[in-house]
A and B are shown apart, each in its own frame.
Chain A
């Protein structure tokens, strides 16, 4: 399959990025050092090209909403200009995708989905929507740039104006970005103060250049993004969330509103008392890295598997997520990880791994 390039591809090449395939896209992994980029994000601000992700727009009469039945997010209870995390489920309750919904207006929503799932998500959601509902996949027309880090507000004020400081965590608004009205949300995937910026293809290139002109900003790739999201205890579709697990196995019941209809609801209710393994955090004693599919042993027996892991440059140790036999999940419980080469001792820890970040910072 031919890889797709984002609008910013020329810029990544110019910056000597290491490019690699990700979800059908040719994406920047790093611009020199994954670890330096991860560290820089936690002290200043990093710009990420996230244009591969998908954006859908839905317009329908809220009195006869069908979107509300398609996904777990309570789209009718959401206030305007807020964001909400949730899931698109298969009928058997397993996760087809995790997504964020933006309520643009009483009758209008934007849904942000993972790149690898754009086509099947669009199909699954539109199959539930009524004929009168307007649905549009705007993924190809949208450039998404994430700006993340404690200095992100200072940077964004110069681009979107002082109003940006009023945005609270998991809210958004429309701002003029280089003369174009654009959605900017106070969200992200790093555990830091930051923004996700949705612009047209034309504005995207200009915005990227303008962000990188700021001495507070450096580009960061998907390698750093993976470290940052893991340190922040955030799951990744394909690793922690898959077609084989439900949000209940992943310990994410708080994002499910059982007070409304949604695809997979009955299956989840049936599964509730039948959960054998659950997702939990893993910290390694020392600098070795647990990796995707490594077996987890406890008391000499196989007790789970690692879904993803990284070396955390902020904790100077390996960290990760694992599915572990439910009865073994207690803070500090000892496990042994069968690594690709050798093994490592580790223990159960409740994420996030990094606390006291800038994520909820609000200017007085």
Chain B
């Protein structure tokens, strides 16, 4: 199970990577593994504003439809349109090619409500315990 350093993680298994004033969001390797083959990603509209831990969008796998929560407050400035026809990129490359949306963020201090890689690893260990 890959846990990428430099990302922050939510308890719902989203990751966020801050690059200056923006942040890329996706789901963790653990999450894609649990969901199974991803068949559909409901890409959010650019311009959509979302608060931390509110529903950002939805994702569907061979198993079920699930919500994706925004790890930070922000406004969608870009989406990964490759996922429209190839949602399996979320399975193949959850931290890179499988990113879902990019947000313009206003409050980096919100990362205090998230886990860093080490804390997320401990969290996964506790779930699988």
Given contacts A35-B88, A339-B65, contact A287 B39 (CB under 8 A): yes
The answer for the CA separation of A33 and B92 in the assembled complex, in Å, is: 11
- B60 partner, pick from A33, A36, A227, A289, beta carbons under 8 A: A289
B47 at the A interface (CB under 8 A): no
Indicate with 1 or 0, residue by residue over B50-73, a CB within 8 angstroms of chain A CB atoms: 000000001010101101000000
A286: chain B residues within 8 A (beta carbon): 40
B87 and A340 contacting across the interface, CB-CB below 8 Å: no
Query: Is A310's beta carbon under 8 Å from chain B?
Result: yes
Q: Can you report 21 A-B residue pairs in the complex whose CB atoms are below 8 A from each other?
A: A33-B37, A33-B91, A35-B37, A35-B62, A36-B37, A223-B36, A223-B62, A227-B62, A287-B40, A287-B87, A288-B40, A288-B65, A310-B62, A311-B40, A311-B62, A339-B65, A340-B64, A340-B65, A341-B67, A342-B42, A342-B58
Chain B CB within 8 A of A118 CB: no
Beyond known contacts A36-B37, A311-B39, A342-B58: 12 more, CB 8 A cutoff: A34-B36, A35-B39, A35-B62, A286-B40, A287-B60, A289-B62, A289-B65, A310-B62, A311-B40, A339-B65, A341-B58, A341-B65
A contact residues, range: 10 to 19
Which bracket fits the contact residues of B? 10 to 19
Chain B minimum-CB-distance residue to A288: B40
Give chain A's interface residues, CB within 8 Å of chain B: 30, 33-36, 223, 227, 286-289, 310-311, 339-342
B78-99 Cβ-contact flags toward A at 8 Å (1 or 0)? 0000000001100100000000
CB distance from B33 to the nearest CB of A (A): 10
CB distance from A72 to the nearest CB of B (A): 34
Report A-chain residues with C-beta under 8 Å of the C-beta of B65. Answer: 288-289, 339-342
Q: Is the pair A289, B36 in contact by a Cβ cutoff of 8 Å? A: no
Identify which of B36, B40, B58, B67 contacts A30 (C-beta below 8 A). Answer: B36
Interface hits, B1-43 → A, CB 8 Å: 36-37, 39-40, 42
Nearest chain A CB to B86 CB, angstrom units: 10
Asked if residues A34 and B62 are in contact (CB atoms below 8 Å), the reply is yes
A34-B62, A223-B62 known; A289 vs B39 contact (CB < 8 Å): yes
Q: Which of A34, A341, A342 contacts B37 (CB 8 A)?
A: A34
Within 8 Å CB of A339, what residues of B? Answer: 65
* Bound-state Cα–Cα, A289 to B42, Å: 12
In the assembled complex, which residues on chain A have CB atoms less than 8 Å from the CB atom of B64? 340
Interface centre among A287, A288, A310, A342 (most CB of B within 10 A): A287
Closest beta carbon of chain B to A293's beta carbon, Å:
13
For the complex, what is the distance from the CA of A311 to the CA of B42, rounded to whole Å? 15
Chain A residue numbers with a CB within 8 Å of B40 are 286-289, 311
Those 3 A-B pairs whose CB atoms lie nearest each other, nearest first: A311-B39, A287-B40, A35-B37
Residue from B40, B58, B64, B88 having most chain A Cβ neighbours under 10 A: B40
The residues of B that contact A223 with a CB separation of less than 8 Å are: 36, 62
Q: Is the CB of B60 within 8 A of A288?
A: yes
Expressed in whole angstroms, the Cα–Cα distance for A286 and B42 within the complex equals 11
**Max chain A C-beta neighbours (<10 A), residue from B58, B62, B65, B67:** B62
Chain A residue contacts of B91, Cβ below 8 A = 33
CB distance from A14 to the nearest CB of B (A): 19
- Give Cα distance in the complex from A36 to B36, angstroms: 11
Residue numbers in A under 8 Å from B42 (CB-CB) = 342
Bound-state CA distance A35–B39 (Å) is 9
Enumerate chain B residues within 8 angstroms of A227, measured Cβ to Cβ.
62
A250-B60 Cα distance, complex, nearest whole Å: 29
CA distance A144 to B87 in the complex (A): 35
| Cα of A310 to Cα of B87 in the assembled complex, Å | 15
User: What is the chain B residue whose CB lies nearest that of A316?
Assistant: B85
Most B Cβ at <10 Å: residue of A36, A340, A341, A342: A341
Question: A210: shortest Cβ distance to chain B, in Å?
Answer: 29
Cα–Cα distance between A227 and B91 once the two chains are bound (Å): 19
Contacts of A341 in B (CB 8 A): 58, 65, 67
A253 to chain B, nearest CB (A): 33
Instruction: Pick the most buried of B37, B42, B58, B87: most chain A CB atoms within 10 A of its CB.
Output: B37
| A288 and B65 alpha carbons, distance in the complex (Å) | 9
- Considering the complex, give the chain B residue whose CB is closest to the CB of A33: B37
Residues of B within 8 A of A310 (CB): 62
Expressed in whole angstroms, the Cα–Cα distance for A275 and B87 within the complex equals 41
Complex-state Cα separation, A311 to B40, whole angstroms = 9
Nearest CB of chain A from residue B41's CB, rounded to whole Å: 9
B residues near A342, Cβ cutoff 8 Å: 42, 58, 65
How many angstroms between the C-alpha atoms of A40 and B23 in the bound complex?
38
